Amino acid sequence: MKSKVITSSDNSNIIEKEGVEYIVMSGQIRQDIEQDEEKLLTHPMATKSRDSLGREKEEADDPIRPCFERDAHRILYSSAFRRLRYKTQVFFNPEHDHISTRVDHSLFVASISKTVARSLGLNMDLAYAISLGHDVGHGPFGHAGEGIIQNLARDVHPDFCFQHEIHGLRVVDNLTFQPSTLRRGLNLSYEVRDGIVCHWGEGTSQYIFPRNKEDKKNLSEIKDRGVRPYTVEACIVRMVDRIAYIGRDVEDAILVLNGLPGLPSSVTDELGSDNRSIINTLVTDLIQESYNNRDEGKVGFSNGVFSALNELYKYNMEHIYTHPRILKYENKAKEIMRKIFEDARNELDRKSKNEYGIWDELSDPLPVKKLHKFIKNTYMDNQIMDISDVQLIVDYLSLMTDRFALRMFEHLVMPEPFK
């Protein structure tokens, strides 16, 4: 007899019809997984998958995967996550195969966060999902690109705010494609969305703890970075974000920057002298210190390790992040982004609007075609009509990879070849 697996919302187990046996997944597998998960969630403030606050748009549960595992897969297979492989972490447009890109960093954060979450009895799936999505709001050219987009937008609207954490929520809610579809928005659970918008990896606090459980913010109304997350798992990701980049940036810098001075003894004596030792020390300390404060849900570092971590950040800022070669690339990135931004503004001003208020006339140059394709796919096809010009261009820029931005710039400044 042939067998076929189907899904159902009822509690049937097997249906036989016309000689075919249908095995019905009613959600029992997911429920069993959730029960096993809860045996591992020994932290007093761990987030249970079945207790999630849910999604913006109601949908049926997956018959096999708990909600946070499902979210992680949605992010992992999304168009926004795939683009991270060609977005700057620190070093622009790297040709060296071993230099980290934004996708490498996200995977490092995800790996470390799962280890920390498991050790503390927290929800690994939730920590993993937040980690994968925490940087999807970044535009091209890393933090330099973030500042450039902010400044370009504020030249037009002085109160406009572009911060990659805040924008990351907009990406997963509205801009990125669902896997294998043309629908925009991933419809993630509240806890994952909260972890993305509140991750702020540049924060320098020694400790962090989640906000009150009654403080169920409307996440789309958060406008400032630094808001404390809703879950302990998100607090873990916020701390691990720094762990994942601080030593790796030094390791990358050694490969491409000449004359880099050695790490100070205040760092090496406490943390170690290479990325492997630094990560091991920071992760071990984070787990121990957070375990000691588990009843309060407090996550952080011991005094000595935290002091050395700050010294390492100062070293990176002085010798890596403000290195003349980095600053040179930042100036080039400004020229590239400004040209694309201004050309897009001119194009939107030039075009006549259709009945929906959307610019739909197609022109010959490739950057114009790409812009109009983005408008159609993102707003027209999803019936979003009230978008401002500046927000539209910011959305467009934020999804670009470094190489796509370079390609668009080249088409804008170089004359079209004779054909």
pLDDT at residue number 261 = 94
Cβ atoms of 161 and 28 within 8 Å: the answer is: no
CA angle 96, 102, 105 (to 5 degrees): 95
CATH of 67-136+176-322, one of 1.10.3210.10, 3.40.50.300, 3.90.180.10, 1.10.645.10: 1.10.3210.10
Nearest to 193 by CA among 43, 31, 86, 74: 74
pTM of model > 0.85: yes
Taking only the tens place, the pLDDT of each residue in 94-106 is 667 788 899 999 9
User: CA-to-CA distance for 243 and 236, rounded, in angstroms?
Assistant: 11
Q: What is the pLDDT of residues 248-286, one digit of tens each?
A: 999 999 988 888 999 999 999 999 999 999 999 999 999
Predicted local confidence at residue 226, as pLDDT: 83
Report residue 357's pLDDT band, with 50, 70 and 90 as the boundaries. Answer: low
Six token digits for residue 199: 């991750």
| Helix H or strand E segment including 25 | strand 20-25
> pLDDT value at position 360?
53
Per-residue CA distances from 201 to 232, 242, 308 (Å):
15, 6, 17
Helix (H) or strand (E) holding 6: strand 3-7
**Which pLDDT tens digit goes with each residue over 279-333?**
999 999 999 999 999 999 999 999 999 999 999 999 999 999 999 999 999 999 9
The residue ranges of every structural domain in the chain are 67-136+176-322, 338-413
Segment (H or E) for 112: helix 102-120
Per-residue pLDDT of 366-393, as tens digits, reads: 787 888 888 888 887 666 667 888 999 9
Above 60 in pLDDT, residue 15?
A: no
Contact between 75 and 231 under an 8 Å Cβ cutoff? The reply is no
Dist CA 326 CA 352 (whole Å): 41
What pLDDT was estimated at residue 186? 95
Which run of H or E residues covers position 207?
Answer: strand 207-208
Q: Is 43 strand, coil or helix?
A: coil
